[in-house]
Amino acid sequence: MSFLDEVPWDADGLITAVAQDASSGKILMVASMNREALKQTVERREAVYWSRARKRLWRKGEESGHVQKLVELRLDCDADAVLLKVEQLGGIACHTGRESCFFRKLEDGRWVTIDPVLKDPSLIYKR
């Protein structure tokens, strides 16, 4: 029995995936995986997600070069989420050019952008 069979894929065949920087512990992003994405993630040792917007497999970093090297993979108690501890190449996970997608913080009832853009997105996606 494959480890893939122990995942109770949801009605859309997906599971939630959380990517965490293995060194800093910072949460980089939350995305979805289908069975093939999880399989390829383990085989390649690099994060592969399912893009719900583009409806296709999305090898993280395929355009940006910001590949996520898999360091450790974990499954939660009710098996509806996986946790990827990764080495984030380029130090940027977010398409906005920030380290993490969670760059907005609630302050006095408002979402405030508190993390800096490390690289202009137009320079990341020029290829």
Query: 82: Cβ–Cβ under 8 A, 6 or more apart, which residues?
Result: 7, 15, 16, 17, 18, 33, 38, 73, 74, 75, 76
Per CB under 8 A, 36 contacts a copy of itself? no
**Cα→Cα distances 109→100, 101, 113, Å:** 21, 20, 13
Q: How far is the CB of 23 from a copy of itself (least distance, A)?
A: 10
Q: What is the pattern of x (binds a copy of itself, CB under 8 A) and - over residues 51-80?
A: ---------------------xxxxxxx-x
Q: What is the CA radius of gyration of the chain?
A: 15
Q: How far is the CB of 92 from a copy of itself (least distance, A)?
A: 12
List the one residue from 69, 89, 102, 117 that touches a copy of itself (CB under 8 A).
Answer: 102
4-33: which residues touch a copy of itself (CB under 8 A)? 6, 16, 18, 20, 24-27, 29-30
Distance between CA atoms of 44 and 62, rounded to whole angstroms? 13
Work out whether the CA dihedral 116, 120, 121, 127 comes out positive or negative: negative
Residues in touch with a copy of itself (CB under 8 A): 2-3, 6, 16, 18, 20, 24-27, 29-30, 42, 72-78, 80-81, 83, 94-96, 98, 101-106, 109-111
